[in-house]
């Protein structure tokens, strides 16, 4: 009787090869290793637990169907992260179509205000617990508009270049630069506010 | 270059999107401009803050359940793909070809029918001007409209049983 492969000790590339050959157990091990990361990326964009779960599940299904297209140029989780990000962008577009007016209205109301904001000084805050800072950044991200949050996630977390973001968001590089700039301004302002309020910075 | 464009270019420099002489020229400009230097410092600080700042979150459902949802979806998609890829067999295959051909034949018949050019069709009934014919059977839905003035007959027929002539009644209005 052939011995079962040692899934838990195998590296990702080996698991991917087994999965490509139709081994669902190898794929299950990949899911087990990277499911949290994929869920987090979906949550960062969508800010909705249920949607993030659904989209991350869909991403895994698509990954299984497209395994032949993965040739290892990037790491497996990076490749998968691109898939879930694309699904999130599709979902945002779908939501936008469903509520076209409200997003445009939000842009109109928040844009000019953000334009008037001065860039607040935010230092990397010596001594502040990293986890605490992450939580505050996360809370600030939740307050950004969909467009601003998405561009931040794609640039800072997904580590895409301006050109790639423009392609994914279906917009110009100039628009990406502008959105990123005002998103950062807003983020800095929100962070400064909360850190000052809690006495964590002067 | 207006102020906003300059700000965006400073950001591009911080993000490493400007290179070569363009980047060098902007660096020189920043060094001699307090406001740009401050902006550069602030953008750099924000970038520093964002590095690795994505808050880790555990999946809000058990891993086993998550996997079962994924594997069920994969199996469902594969069954669907197989079903669509499966070649039609027997009657299905025959119908796939016969149905469009029959439809095409009906259209050709309609287009080449002499009644189209030579007045109302010969139904064995002497028609005057406008008439509405109705066939009655519970299982059949038929409506015919004939107008001699326009040389046109329209027939709506919807049935799901075998037609038997002795079950039909014809009214002529």
**pLDDT, tens only, B74-115:** 999 999 888 888 765 566 666 677 778 888 888 888 877 655
Mutation for testing the A interface, residue in B37, B70, B82 having most A CBs under 10 Å: B70
Residues A85 and A119 in one domain: no
Domain holding A71: CATH number? 1.10.1740.10
If pLDDT is split at 50, 70 and 90, which confidence band does B145 have? low
Is A79 within 8 Å of chain B by CB?
A: no
Pair A76, A142 in one domain = no
For helices A76-98 and A49-65, angle between their N-to-C axes, nearest 10 degrees = 130
Could you give the CA distance from residue B143 to residue B158 in angstroms, rounded to a whole number?
9
Contact call for residues B139 and B161 (beta carbons, < 8 A): yes
pLDDT for res B167: 46
| Minimal CA separation from B58 to chain A, in Å | 5
Residue B87: the pLDDT is 63
Helix axes of A173-197 and A130-142: crossing angle, nearest 10 degrees: 120
* Domain membership of residue A83 as a residue range: 1-98
Q: Return per-residue pLDDT of chain A as tens, 202 residues.
A: 557 789 999 999 999 999 999 999 999 999 999 999 999 999 999 999 999 999 999 999 999 999 999 999 899 999 999 999 999 999 999 998 887 755 555 555 544 433 434 454 445 455 567 788 899 999 999 999 999 999 999 999 999 999 999 999 999 999 999 999 999 999 999 988 877 776 655 5
Check residue A22 and report its DSSP letter.
T
Residues A76 and A111 in one domain: no
Helices A76-98/A162-169 angle, 10° precision = 40
pTM of the model: 0.68
The pLDDT assigned to A124 comes to 47
**Top-confidence residue, B120 or A179:** A179
Looking at the complex, report in whole angstroms how far the Cα of residue B89 sits from the nearest Cα belonging to chain A.
Answer: 27
Q: Among the three residues A35, A70, A98, which one is the final residue of a domain in this structure?
A: A98
CATH code of A115's domain: 1.10.10.10
Closest residue in B to A35 (Cα) is: B59
Per-residue pLDDT, A194: 74
Are B54 and A134 inside 8 Å of each other by CB? Answer: yes
CA distance linking residue A8 with residue A21, whole number of Å: 18
Per-position b or e across A152-162, b if 16+ CB within 10 A of its CB: bbbbbbbebeb
Within a domain: A144? yes
């Amino acid at each position: 009787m052939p011995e079962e492969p040692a899934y838990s000790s195998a590296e990702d590339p080996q698991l991917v090869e087994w999965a490509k050959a139709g081994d669902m157990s190898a794929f299950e091990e990949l899911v087990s290793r990277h499911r949290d990361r994929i869920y987090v990326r979906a949550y960062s964009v969508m800010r909705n637990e249920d949607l993030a779960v659904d989209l991350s599940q869909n991403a895994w299904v698509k990954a299984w169907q497209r395994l032949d297209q993965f040739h290892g140029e990037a790491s497996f989780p990076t490749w998968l992260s691109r898939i879930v990000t694309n699904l999130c962008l599709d979902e945002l577009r779908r939501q936008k179509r469903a509520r076209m007016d409200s997003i445009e209205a939000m842009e109109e109301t928040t844009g000019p205000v953000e334009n008037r904001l001065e860039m607040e000084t935010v230092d990397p805050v010596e001594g502040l617990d990293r986890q605490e800072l992450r939580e505050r950044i996360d809370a600030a991200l939740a307050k950004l508009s969909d467009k601003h949050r998405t561009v931040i996630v794609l640039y800072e977390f997904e580590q895409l270049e301006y050109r790639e973001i423009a392609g994914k968001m279906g917009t110009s590089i100039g628009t990406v630069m502008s959105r990123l700039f005002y998103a950062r301004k807003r983020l800095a302002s929100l962070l400064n506010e909360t850190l000052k309020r809690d006495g964590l910075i002067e | 270059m207006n102020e906003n464009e300059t700000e965006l270019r400073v950001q591009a420099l911080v993000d490493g999107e400007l290179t070569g002489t363009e980047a060098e020229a902007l660096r020189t400009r920043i060094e001699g401009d307090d406001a740009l230097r401050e902006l550069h410092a602030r953008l750099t600080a924000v970038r520093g803050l964002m590095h690795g700042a994505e808050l880790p979150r555990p999946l809000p459902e058990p891993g086993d359940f998550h996997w079962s949802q994924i594997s069920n979806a994969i199996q469902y998609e594969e069954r669907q793909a197989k079903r669509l890829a499966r070649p039609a067999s027997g009657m299905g295959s025959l119908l796939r070809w016969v149905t469009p051909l029959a439809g095409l034949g009906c259209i050709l018949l309609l287009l080449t029918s002499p009644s189209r050019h030579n007045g109302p069709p010969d139904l064995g009934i002497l028609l005057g001007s406008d008439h509405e014919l109705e066939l009655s059977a519970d299982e059949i839905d038929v409506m015919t409209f004939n107008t001699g003035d326009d040389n046109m007959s329209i027939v709506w027929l919807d049935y799901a049983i075998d037609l038997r002539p002795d079950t039909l009644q014809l009214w002529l209005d």
